[in-house]
């Protein structure tokens, strides 16, 4: 359990979060005033309460959970409970997995001195639907006016503002604009992720050159890297698909090991990754898409050319579709959906990677609706080869 609190004498939370936070106060304090708050700034919000209840509310604290990108909550943390030591054993009253607290309405008893009933509003962040959880003590007399306290639109509770002594005297929600923390997959460190069958590693300078890269999602990329000391920069693209063009840059943390950031401006995407380069002129690495719960993409590259003063422009061996044709995963012509990659249309192009038996041709970086993927095409007049 983790408590988070702040005395009223320095109620600095109202200053620190003044631009995004609304504090809704209850009636005047009777003893001590405190904020029982979830961890601010880390995506943790109040999804319930934990309380000791007898005739009235003897003690109360917040139940916290972290908001995920799909607007569901994960994790379970508790603030400290504040109040007296009486009442029954602590109980939790919690909203659903996609719900956060937006209203915290209190009814006082005994002349307004103690909290006798709490009405919590749980709002579904996906659908906007709301429902109530009513929690009350055994008192059935002396209730005061019902006091509603709602977070402003677009905000949810991240804790409680409390007045307490031997009992809970008043309670109201601390509110903030909700946001989630993006949890992206961890980029492997090639310095320690060593495979027993790996070739010897090369130096950082060996990143320099033009590479043909195969991704495990089926795409084929051109990758051109330049090296200056420990700094590596480059561009990558799919032939015939300019919208996927991107850049990367990073620094070698050890010889032949690169950590980098990448972006695709036209796609509005980016992320991070790492590469390692080997002495047999290959490279391997992983990159993420900057999105939570999205698997890493693996890139395996083979060097096509090194930059030299006399190196002519590399000639790309392109095949062009003269009519619509199917691209297969294996050169078998198996028509099952599991063996089909995509459909080439007239005018689509692809780099010739190899030629198989009979009329089979392996293409990469296929343009058009194939979006840079690779596969095998039966060529009986369907392709114009270089």
- Residue ranges of E strands in 314-359: 318-321, 325-328, 340-344, 349-355
Kindly state whether residues 140 and 14 are assigned to the same domain: yes
Domain boundary among 251, 274, 305: 305
Q: What pLDDT is recorded for position 311? A: 45
- The domain spanning residue 99 has which CATH number? 2.100.10.30
Task: Quote the pTM value.
Answer: 0.46
Q: Phi/psi class of residue 347: alpha, beta or left (left: φ > 0; alpha: ψ in -120 to 50)?
A: left
Which string of DSSP letters, residue by residue, matches 253-319? EETTEEEEEEEETTTTEEEEEEEEEBTTSEEEEEE--S-TT-PPEEEEEEEEE---TTPPPPPP-EE
Kindly state whether residues 296 and 333 are assigned to the same domain: no
Q: What pLDDT is recorded for position 150? A: 93
Kindly state whether residues 21 and 127 are assigned to the same domain: yes
Q: What pLDDT is recorded for position 268? A: 77
Kindly state whether residues 66 and 119 are assigned to the same domain: yes
Q: What pLDDT is recorded for position 299? A: 93
Kindly state whether residues 133 and 213 are assigned to the same domain: no
Q: What pLDDT is recorded for position 141? A: 64
Residue 285 lies in domain: 204-305
Q: What is the distance between the alpha carbons of residues 17 and 37, in angstroms, rounded to a whole number?
A: 13
Domain tally, the chain: 3
Q: What pLDDT is recorded for position 142? A: 64
Inside any domain, residue 67: yes
- 8 phi and psi angles, rounded to 5 deg: -65, -25
Q: What pLDDT is recorded for position 353? A: 83
Mean pLDDT, 10 residues at a time, the chain of 386 residues: 34 29 37 82 87 94 88 88 92 95 91 89 93 88 76 93 92 87 70 77 92 91 91 89 89 89 84 91 89 82 79 62 91 84 87 85 84 87 87
Kindly state whether residues 293 and 326 are assigned to the same domain: no
Q: What pLDDT is recorded for position 185? A: 67
Inside any domain, residue 195: no
Kindly state whether residues 234 and 334 are assigned to the same domain: no
Structure-block tokens of residue 364: 């990469």
Distance of alpha carbon 279 from the chain centroid:
35
CB-CB neighbours of 202 under 10 Å: 18
């Amino acid at each position: 359990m983790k408590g988070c609190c702040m005395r009223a004498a320095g109620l600095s939370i109202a200053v620190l979060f003044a631009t995004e936070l609304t504090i809704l106060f209850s009636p005047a304090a009777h003893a001590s005033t405190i904020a029982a708050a979830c961890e601010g700034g880390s995506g943790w919000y109040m999804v319930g309460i934990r309380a000791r209840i007898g005739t009235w509310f003897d003690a109360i604290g917040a139940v916290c959970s972290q908001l995920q990108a799909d607007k569901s909550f994960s994790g379970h943390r508790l603030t400290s409970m504040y109040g007296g030591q009486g009442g029954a054993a602590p109980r939790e009253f919690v909203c659903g997995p996609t719900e956060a607290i937006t209203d915290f309405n209190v009814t006082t008893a005994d002349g307004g001195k103690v909290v006798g009933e709490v009405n919590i509003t749980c709002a579904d962040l996906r659908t906007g639907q709301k429902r109530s959880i009513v929690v009350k003590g055994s008192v059935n007399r002396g209730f005061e006016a019902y006091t509603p306290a709602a977070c402003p639109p677009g905000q949810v509770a991240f804790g409680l503002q409390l007045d307490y002594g031997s009992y809970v005297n008043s309670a109201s929600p601390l509110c903030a604009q909700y946001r989630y923390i993006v949890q992206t997959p961890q980029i492997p460190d090639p310095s320690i992720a060593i495979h027993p069958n790996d070739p010897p590693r090369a130096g950082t300078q060996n990143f320099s050159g033009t590479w043909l890269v195969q991704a495990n999602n089926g795409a084929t990329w051109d990758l051109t890297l330049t090296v200056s000391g420990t700094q590596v920069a480059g561009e990558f693209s799919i032939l015939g698909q300019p919208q996927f063009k991107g850049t990367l840059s990073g620094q070698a943390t050890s010889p032949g090991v690169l950590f980098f950031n990448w972006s695709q401006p036209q796609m509005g995407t980016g992320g991070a990754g790492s590469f390692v380069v080997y002495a047999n002129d290959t490279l391997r690495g992983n990159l993420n898409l900057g999105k939570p719960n999205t698997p890493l993409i693996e890139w395996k590259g083979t060097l096509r050319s090194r930059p030299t003063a006399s190196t002519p422009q590399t000639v790309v061996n392109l095949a062009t579709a003269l009519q619509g044709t199917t691209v297969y995963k294996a050169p078998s012509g198996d028509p099952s959906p599991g063996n089909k990659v995509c459909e080439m249309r007239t005018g689509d192009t692809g780099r010739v990677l190899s030629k198989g038996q009979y009329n089979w041709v392996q293409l990469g970086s296929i343009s058009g609706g194939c979006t840079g993927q690779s596969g095998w095409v039966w060529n009986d007049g369907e392709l114009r080869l270089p």
